[in-house]
Structure 1
Amino acid sequence: MSAIGMGSVNRKINNLTGSLITTSSSIALANTSANTIVITGQSQKLLVTLPSSLETGTAFRIVNDGPITGYTKDAGAVYVRSPNNNSIARLLKGDSMIVKARSATPNAPSNFSNEIYRKATAGVPIVWTTRGSAADNSWNSVVWASELGIFCAVAYSGTGTRVMTSSDGVTWTTRASAADNDWINVTWAPELQLFCVVGGTGTGSRVMTSSDGVTWTTRASAADNSWQSVTWAPELGLFCAVAASGTGNRVMTSPNGITWTTRTSAADNSWNGVAWSAELGILCAVASSGTGNRVMTSSDGVTWTTRASAANNSWQSIAWAPKLSLFCAVSIDGTGTRVMTSPDGITWTTRASAADNFWYNVVWAPELSLFCAVALSGTGNRVMTSPDGINWTIRSSPADNNWAGLAWAAELGQFCAISRTGTGNRAMTSGWAS
């Protein structure tokens, strides 16, 4: 096994370039040769690029053992990336990883296998930093694709630029959207290696798909409903989308993201969020309208049953936490009750929200054993976290933007949120204090 520790790397760089002392804009670099891991610096970010000539099956150990004089941004993180410049891992101080090439001339993150070893619990990431968005579009949803090593976000405004991607949540690039529809929600299907997006506008074209986040194709939607959320259920081999409009057909499913079939919804409520629980074998959706029936469940995506919601709030998003065996939903209204949880999708209990903000999105981070939610409203407090879905704590948000989309990237050890509002700062990422 070849060990690449930041300490030894520093000594190598010192031999070539003198002391590794950073400035506000750059980091001193070192020359490398074939089959050697590349160390570079870029805008106060240290990058370790794996070569495409890496011998198949050879294990490399990469350690961020610091310190690096002057390197203070991003809590001293080191980014490990593939030859095509997408992220494989983000190592904080004390973290390490074992990486191997799965094939000859590996290029993408999926061509490498890796095991990441985090230092003893770093606690909850409470430091959020705004990032420059690729365009000031109304970004509404974001997802992390670990196999590609990128975030992908979608928007409901912009001219031909309603998609943006990033390998780290920091630097974003606009991508040509397949159509200027109101794109509302995006998901990633690892088994299909496919992004799938649903929208609220468009004529017979309210779905688009992409295998790389760059090239997009519209797909025929099963109905011109206002599709609000889509999820991938790997055990069913099925995408499932739910809508806020339509008559008896506010669900549609697809095995491949291309061919879609409408399904009879349990009620004509405004369905806003849907999640899959592999452990329970059910899909669960939540709505912002309906009387006492703002939840519905299904074991196959075809037959749906309404369930009694804990309150008639405007439920926007739902997440499943396997470790807790718990669904968690968040709402934009209600007095101190803007969270509800359920162990089975059937029996729901309201929970005290940390603030009466417009909570719009919630995700579960298994590596942190943590729920995280973001909001459209609030003053400096548009993030909240919970280890159990019951006890919630406010976190300081760096800008009072309309934070609508949220994703967790295990390989980077960070959350990424995107916003509908703000000037050049419609993304933010989580981290720890230096």
Structure 2
Amino acid sequence: MKLFFISSLVACALLLNAQVENGCISIDFESFPNQTPTAGLVLSDQYKDAFGLSFSLETGGFPVLADVGGAAAEAFGSAWGNDTPRPSVDIGKFFLTDDGQLSGLTSPAIILDFEVPIDSFAGCILDMDFEEFFIIQALDEFGTVILEERIDAGDPGTGDGQLTCWGFNLPGCEGSIYSIKYAGFRPETSPGAFGLGMDYFSFCYSGLQIDTETTPVTCDELGSISIFSTTDEVYEYSLDGSNYSLNGSFDQLDEGVQTIYVKDSEDCTTTVDVNVEMDIENLPDPIFIEEVICEGQVFSFNGQEYNSTGMYQQTLEAANGCDTLWNLSLTVNPNLSEIINLEICDGETIDINGESYSTSGSFEQVLNSLDGCDSTLVINVENIANTMENVFAQICEGESYVLNGESYISEGLYSQPLT
């Protein structure tokens, strides 16, 4: 840890209102989110949403604003008036004090809590004189003191109405300060009352301040990543963690998460995972095919064979990642079969579908149905031989003989074809 003092002129020139610069936050108590600064304004969580910073007093309650040159002293008195710094010191209109009561030899310690750990802090103390001393402590997430410094009246930059600015930072790459505690004291041997007066706070978060832009992968080109600093700090970048460059542009990248290595001027290195997406709006349209085959046939595509009715899908992979979705709707029509049994007499002929049959046997015709599939017709023909029967009949004159509905009255030889 390094403690350093900053001249009041330098501090006043650098720290303006509540703003972010180079990964650091500065507050001069002259403006507040959605509030107008006034004497006695309670400071608690006004900066919590923006910076993750909240204020409190160790004894309970919260610190307040004091205004320069007020009617009654709230934090200190100097040769130039109540709560008034020397003429060469410009602290604006307002500054931070404890409970706003100038009394006793001690005052409630002011505590700053950070949701995100910081690695450096700076601030200024007003009017350190009369053997007063300040204890500044930095605490980790468990409330353990990891840094402690003391500033005494008589140290450089202290004195009546003077602005004593100081700061410290932690070595290494990771921030670990979750709280800052300010406590001030005046010994019993010194006359008067004591109060805390502070201004110009600044603190820096740990980690690298970077942002990224990506170009998606398309069917014609691979993707790219541009990574850059959002502050004045200069970083080096690498895709493999070994070869670093000041150029944060990387192209010819495939779809997916790419790990970028980032290194700062102190050789602190971190990794950033950046997702290079596929431009899905310009992917090839899916292919839809409807096919009809007959039972026993096979439909083949891209090395795959299909022979059952159903829905099928293939992904046609492309080297550039622009895969095409192939969809098949397959209908398998059955082959039809029919059997016909026929009887014919000797000498007869029967025609079926242009084919003639006059003898006994089993015959087969293969026909095309309306859906284009084979239709098998089996024809069983039985040839029945002709038979003859002789009937002898005698009648008397004037009588008739009836056979199978036919009447006969004269002598003679007759025949009837029967089926």
Both structures adopt the same fold (TM-score exceeding 0.5): no
Bigger-Rg structure (1/2): 2
Between structures 1 and 2, the one with greater strand share: 2
Alignment TM class, shorter chain as reference? under 0.3
